[in-house]
Amino acid sequence: MDTLEQQLDTLRARAAEVIPADGLREKLALGRGLRVKLGLDPTAEHVTLGWAVVLRKLRAFQDLGHTAVLIVGDFTARIGDPSEQNKTRPMLSKEQVDAHVERVLGQFQLVLSGERLEIRRNSEWLEGLGTEGLLKLGSLQTVAQTLQRDDFAKRFDAGAPITVREFLYPLLQGYDSVAVSADVEIGGTDQTFNLLVGRDVQRAYGQPPQAVLTMPLLEGTDGEKKMSQSLGNYIALTEEPDDMFGKLMRVPDALMRKYFELCTDLDDESIAGIVDGAVRPEVAKRRLAATVVELYHGQADAAATAERFDRLFVEHRMPEDVDLHPIPDDCVDGEGVFLPKLLKSIGLAPSTTEARRLIAQGGVKVDGQTVATEHVATDEVRGHVIQVGKRHFARLR
């Protein structure tokens, strides 16, 4: 097993902060496997590269022999985390949350090892907490203390509503640490307040307070805001290799180092050689895209995806392996082929409404030529390649 100092170096690498500063060292000095908690609220259906930042750090603890305790916040997700919010989050139903849980559970395994892993739902202990339990939790934090957090302070100063249930959120998250006897808790920097409340709650329940390790937040593909599924600036771990590669190629140049550091296993020297070297930005970004795709889809898929990307965007050639589709009879009428219905039928658009929007915006081509009308002659598409956007193709027969 690695020495204490080696473990510290590995676990603190690229972290934002450890609280208290010597807290992780003290926990490791206990000389036993630690219980390392990470709580994620399933409020959307994908695990993204943003979530993967903290999941990868949790995996680092696993690799060193510690137990990862992943809390799926199926109860707290219904309340809504107020962190960095400028308004009250809408409450989710139990059915909505359960649907998200079912979608994300398997995705966690793309990062975490199945060994030394506990996955727990916090409804196990929070649903049975009762009025007396809530009152005890509520007595552990004052209104003044809660209003010190930046997001609440801004909303209070602006006269924006803050609900009592939002005040309860960090206390309930803190009780999770009691329920699983956490030694360490990981989270993004936007979770610092909540994680520190967890230390207070553990003390109140007679447990040693957890050490806190925070990770930087990853901006999304827009280069401005935190990666978020609600904002649409995310990259999901389960995206098709071509889509993942294409989105990574759109990451702003200024964020390349951060993406290399938080989304890949490359060491600092290798990253510096790519980002700070004489390599052109587009070449460095191609390396980033290929490295991340390989991490989640394997070396063969990463190589094939890079080749397809070069064919389309560097050499400006169509892909060789275009799927062949017949033209459905119900897409043909007296005016020819109704293109919006055809695009939906062969899977190039999610709906006829979206297909019409794509056509109106010039996003649909036949053999490389933009199509400007919704009806086209059958002979103009049969035997030809239809393209939607930059990466989606089909040959019609």
CB half-sphere exposure, 108, CA atoms < 13 A: 28
Bridge partner list, 348: none
In angstroms, rounded to a whole number, what is the distance separating the alpha carbons of residues 165 and 167? 5
- Residue 278 predicted with pLDDT over 90: no
pTM (2 d.p.) = 0.77
Is pLDDT at 8 greater than 70 in this prediction? yes
For residue range 200-247, list pLDDT tens digits in order: 999 999 999 999 999 999 999 999 899 998 888 999 999 999 889 989
Query: Cα angle at 227 between 87 and 175, to 5 degrees?
Result: 60
Q: Looking at the predicted structure, is the pLDDT value of residue 84 above 70?
A: no
The mean pLDDT of 341-353, rounded to a whole number, is 79
Residue range 311-334, pLDDT digits in tens: 766 655 556 566 777 777 777 876
Condensed to tens digits (0 to 9), the pLDDT of residues 124-168 reads: 999 998 888 888 888 887 777 777 766 667 777 777 777 777 778
- More confident: 395 or 262: 262
Q: What is the pLDDT of residues 58-69, one digit of tens each?
A: 999 999 999 999
Cα–Cα distance, 178 to 176 (Å, whole number): 5
Name the 3-class secondary structure at 273.
helix
Q: How far apart are CA 309 and CA 294, in angstroms?
A: 15
Tell me the C-alpha to C-alpha distance, in Å, between residue 266 and each of 216, 246, 250, 259, 300. 17, 21, 20, 11, 19
Report the alpha-carbon distance of residue 313 to residue 249 in Å, rounded.
11
The residue written with tokens 């956490």 in the block is: 182
Is the pLDDT reported for residue 85 higher than 60? Answer: no
Side chain identity at 230, as an amino acid letter?
S
State residue 364's pLDDT score.
Answer: 82
pLDDT band, very low/low/confident/very high, at 368 (cuts 50, 70, 90): low
- Of the two residues 88 and 297, the one the predictor is more confident about is 297
Q: Give the integer Cα–Cα distance in Å for 18 and 215.
A: 9
Greater confidence (360 vs 33) lies with 33
For the chain, list the domains and their CATH numbers: 4-215 (3.40.50.620), 241-314 (1.10.240.10), 324-396 (3.10.290.10)
What is the C-alpha separation between 6 and 10, in angstroms, rounded?
6
Report yes or no: 219 and 255 within 8 Å, Cβ to Cβ.
yes
3-state secondary structure at position 317? coil
DSSP designation for 109: T
Average pLDDT rounded to a whole number, residues 76-88: 67
Cα–Cα distance for residue pair 372/301, rounded to 1 Å: 35
Would you state the pLDDT for residue 316? 55
